[in-house]
Structure 1
Amino acid sequence: MKLFSKAGLAAILIGLGLGASAQAQQEIKVGVIYPLTGPGAAVGAELRNALELAADIINNGAKDIPELPFSAGKGLPNLKGARIKLVFADHQANPQVGATEAERLITQEKVVALVGAYNSAVTATASQIAERAGIPFLNPESSSASLTQRNFKWFFRTTPHDDLFVHNAFEFLKELEAKKGIKPGTIATFNENGLWGTETTKLQAKLAPEFKYSLVKQVIYPAKTTQLTSEVQTLKAANPSLVLQSSYTPDAILSMKTYKELGFSPDMILANNAGFTDTDFIRTLGKDAEYVITREVWALDLASRNPLIKQVNDLFNSRYKINFTGNSSRTFTGLMVMADAINRAGSTEPEAIRKALAATDIPGSQLIMPWKGVKFDASGQNTLGSGILVQIVDGKYNTVWPFNMASRDVIWPMPKWDLRK
């Protein structure tokens, strides 16, 4: 009797729909789309580091951290030790480039899934390509609420979204008044004009009156701008006590420099993450970054509540000489969640991975995030994520809200520029 060759047997198995699960997969390609050049290159480099650390742990282990999934190493056990291979794409913070790169990763690189893309506007276009192709797309960081309001079947997001984050900001202000006796005063918003910034602006305009706050001015500036003088002059003329701000790294830094140059000194800047939590923000501004409060999803000082935070951060710091940020910690978590789904699927078939993602139920004890866990609803949104607020004091991010998790008290108001040491 003639036996089938390995190739012949593989063809039969694949024809029966069994090939991916029945055969050992030596390498599983996962496409990762991030801003590796252009205005987002600095944060993109950190996100790449986070992805590479996660892939290394999945493939080779982290035996000193047994509580971490895949810490035993040697790849995905349900796929006979298959290793994750990251295929990087650079979207340059350009939505059209992101869509083109998603197409390339799917059609030419033959990736089994996509992870990305930090910038909400790029995530929107890249995930549309994945949806049409029937390829799972996991988004670890983009927070535009509309991303999980599109009735997509293949899209999953692990981070909380801006509807929660903006609510958090106003809840903090109410608690600040009730528990600390600090009244925020009048509010202005200052946001970039991309998908993320414009959606945030609408949410802030809706929630301010609901929470009984006076919104005296809304200023939207061009994304990727190189000057903010006129916009900051408009803000200064409105004389708000508090500025709610959504900016990516270059414009977050530029805005702070412009505030100082023009002598604009509100009582507080309450930022919406992104550029304000990038390592380059404090590194570039030094003492001029002090006292800003920003929403976050991760803080090193929460390690007292979750030892995994310090253990994995120590590993990250030993390799890259920087700490995790809310951005990079979410990216790390995103790839770990995707690997968990592929492993549980026991297959590289897109539909099997999609079903495994939909069935995800990871407890908070296995995450480096201060969340209850990861579990997706029908829209693909993780329902167990949460936000915190941190304040920059002495060059570090300190948890200040929720108050029962705070590592230090809020400093309010910020000292005026000419009174800072």
Structure 2
Amino acid sequence: MKRLFRGLGLGALGCLLLASAGLMGAARAEDEIRIGAIYPLTGAAAGTGVELKAAAELAAAIVNKEIPLPGNLAAGAGMPNLKGAKIKLIFGDHQGNPQVGATEAERLITQEHVVALIGCYFSNVTATASQVAERYGVPFLNASSSSTPLTERGFKWFFRTSPHDDLFVANFYDFLKAVEQKKGVQLRKLALFNENTLWGGETTKIEVKLAEEQGFTVAEKILYPAKSTQMTSEVQRLKAADPQVLMQSSYLGDAILSMKTYKELGFAPPMVLANDAGFSDSEYLKTLGKDGNFVLSREVWALDLADRNPLIKQVNDLMKGRNGVNLNGNSARVFTGVAVLADAINRAGSTQPEAIRKALQETNIPADQIIMPWKGIKFDEKGQNSLGTGIIVQVQNEQYRTVWPFDIATADIVYPFPKWEGR
């Protein structure tokens, strides 16, 4: 056997292992459906990863009927087409490292024999892990990475429920123009402050492109090193640029550090418009308290929309009861991703990868069966959910309030961003 393995190339060996995994998956089909979930469970983003893990486990518990199904949530509850099989989540820790993410994806496929993967929050890790899944022919559902190129690679096995950054950045400019009209102000001078991995880099390109097309001026553009330990020089440059709007893409540690540095240096542009991620993480406000107020952020979910969708409160109450925290935009997307994947596996009536892939392609979930403020979930030919939409929230009194689109807003925008000394 050792000689046989030596003689096989990596691709052939992978196929052999995958065939073995498929056989084991089929053997378990009636009692256990193994799904790999790859998130940052240690390292700088561990706090985020813990919440994502909790949201995934909540969705699995609902599917497994350990918790009554909330309302008409689309979640494949009970897996009736697989004789009541139970979802078993097998977690991988990518530590914020793309190569580790790829290694974890391979481990989950070849050693844990998962029938599908979900992950990875960081766009650059999702890129490498999904390449492994593509090579092995295993469905990969991405619930929370927004870098646009992820669905531009021509992959057959990749599906994304969340909207992408092309949409989110376009929302930025639509929002700015709407605020200009409503408030009678000018918001044309921008500064861009984004982390320098795949997500931040691609977001910067889109922001610059749309600024040029829509009559905005980029006065300063900074791509800072991800996981920075100090931002003094960068913030001094931003302050010197004197922007009317600061657009920022940061994960948790960077978001917290930047806000502390803004206060320290007295930097308070009229508007801080964040790109979700670290600014919507529960630890953001736990750490900063009132100093986290007044930041605006693009979002995909908000608790204050529960009056419009009863499912939001029902599911959030379950999350709060089990884990002591509310859902946020990050964890709500992961909850939704696991529910969508379980629904597809149930409709497939099989744990075979091709059957699951076909069921994902045929997904058509209406808006009233999800907790997201989207028009529904339906994948296009690239694997991108074509019905996702974005909102803008603002932190007011240490709570996230929906402020745009105006027709669904629960609060008026606080403008301008208050000076630190006047709070």
2: CA distance, partners of 1:175 / 1:129:
43
Q: Secondary structure of the residue that 1:309 maps to in structure 2? A: helix
1: CA distance, partners of 2:223 / 2:44:
18
Residue identity matched to 2:166 = D
Percent identity between matched residues is 63
Deviation at 1:179, TM superposition (A): 2.8
User: What residue is the counterpart of 1:195 in the other structure?
Assistant: 198
Deviation at 1:180, TM superposition (A): 2.9
Q: Secondary structure of the residue that 1:38 maps to in structure 2? A: coil
Residue identity matched to 1:27 = E
Would the aligned equivalents of 1:61 and 1:70 in 2 still touch at CA under 8 Å?
Answer: no
User: What residue is the counterpart of 1:50 in the other structure?
Assistant: 55
Which 10-residue stretch deviates more, 142-151 or 21-30? Answer: 21-30
Q: Secondary structure of the residue that 1:294 maps to in structure 2? A: strand
Q: Deviations over 1:231-254 (max 9, x none)?
A: 111111111121000000000000
User: What residue is the counterpart of 1:268 in the other structure?
Assistant: 271
2: CA distance, partners of 1:366 / 1:263:
45
User: What residue is the counterpart of 2:137 in the other structure?
Assistant: 134
- RMSD over aligned Cα, in angstroms? 1.8
2: CA distance, partners of 1:336 / 1:65:
12
1: CA distance, partners of 2:80 / 2:144:
27
**Residues 1:69 and 2:74 aligned together:** yes
Residue identity matched to 2:131 = Q
Which 10-residue stretch deviates more, 235-244 or 333-342? Answer: 235-244
User: What residue is the counterpart of 1:59 in the other structure?
Assistant: 64
1: CA distance, partners of 2:150 / 2:280:
22
User: What residue is the counterpart of 2:89 in the other structure?
Assistant: 86
User: What residue is the counterpart of 1:212 in the other structure?
Assistant: 215
Would the aligned equivalents of 1:20 and 1:347 in 2 still touch at CA under 8 Å?
Answer: no
Q: Deviations over 1:289-341 (max 9, x none)?
A: 11000000000111111000011101111111110000000000000010011
Would the aligned equivalents of 1:120 and 1:142 in 2 still touch at CA under 8 Å?
Answer: yes
2: CA distance, partners of 1:352 / 1:131:
15
User: What residue is the counterpart of 2:46 in the other structure?
Assistant: 41
User: What residue is the counterpart of 1:5 in the other structure?
Assistant: none
* Structure 1 pair 347–288 and aligned structure 2 pair: CA distance change class (3 A): same
2: CA distance, partners of 1:245 / 1:404:
25
User: What residue is the counterpart of 2:252 in the other structure?
Assistant: 249
Residue identity matched to 1:31 = G
* Structure 1 pair 242–70 and aligned structure 2 pair: CA distance change class (3 A): closer
Q: Deviations over 1:65-117 (max 9, x none)?
A: 2312358x5x3110000000000000001000000000100111110000000
User: What residue is the counterpart of 2:358 in the other structure?
Assistant: 355
Q: Secondary structure of the residue that 1:60 maps to in structure 2? A: coil
Question: Residue 30 of structure 1 is aligned with which of 22, 26, 35?
Answer: 35
Residue identity matched to 1:309 = I
Structure with more relative contact order (C-alpha pairs < 8 Å, separation 6 or more): 2
2: CA distance, partners of 1:64 / 1:83:
15
Deviation at 1:22, TM superposition (A): 10
Q: Secondary structure of the residue that 2:44 maps to in structure 1? A: helix
2: CA distance, partners of 1:52 / 1:219:
37
Which 10-residue stretch deviates more, 57-66 or 202-211? Answer: 57-66
2: CA distance, partners of 1:99 / 1:20:
21
Would the aligned equivalents of 1:91 and 1:101 in 2 still touch at CA under 8 Å?
Answer: yes
Deviation at 1:202, TM superposition (A): 0.5
Deviation at 1:55, TM superposition (A): 0.5
Residue identity matched to 1:104 = R
1: CA distance, partners of 2:161 / 2:88:
21
1:139-288 paired onto structure 2 within 5 Å = 139-288=142-291
Residue identity matched to 1:69 = A
Would the aligned equivalents of 2:188 and 2:215 in 1 still touch at CA under 8 Å?
Answer: no
Deviation at 1:178, TM superposition (A): 1.8
Question: Residue 392 of structure 1 is aligned with which of 375, 387, 395?
Answer: 395
Deviation at 1:21, TM superposition (A): 7.6
Deviation at 1:63, TM superposition (A): 2.8
1: CA distance, partners of 2:35 / 2:301:
25
State TM-score, norm by structure 2: 0.93
Would the aligned equivalents of 2:270 and 2:415 in 1 still touch at CA under 8 Å?
Answer: yes
Residue identity matched to 2:350 = S
Deviation at 1:126, TM superposition (A): 0.2
Q: Deviations over 1:3-37 (max 9, x none)?
A: xxxxxxxxxxx99x999789852111000000000
Would the aligned equivalents of 2:62 and 2:75 in 1 still touch at CA under 8 Å?
Answer: yes
Would the aligned equivalents of 2:74 and 2:365 in 1 still touch at CA under 8 Å?
Answer: no
Residue identity matched to 1:210 = E
Aligned length: 404
* Structure 1 pair 91–18 and aligned structure 2 pair: CA distance change class (3 A): closer
Q: Deviations over 1:168-192 (max 9, x none)?
A: 0000001111233232241100000
Q: Deviations over 1:221-240 (max 9, x none)?
A: 00111111111111111111
User: What residue is the counterpart of 2:3 in the other structure?
Assistant: none
1: CA distance, partners of 2:81 / 2:28:
11
Q: Which runs of 5+ in 1 are unaligned?
A: 1-13
* Structure 1 pair 280–219 and aligned structure 2 pair: CA distance change class (3 A): same
User: What residue is the counterpart of 1:4 in the other structure?
Assistant: none
Would the aligned equivalents of 1:358 and 1:376 in 2 still touch at CA under 8 Å?
Answer: yes
Question: Residue 125 of structure 1 is aligned with which of 122, 125, 128?
Answer: 128
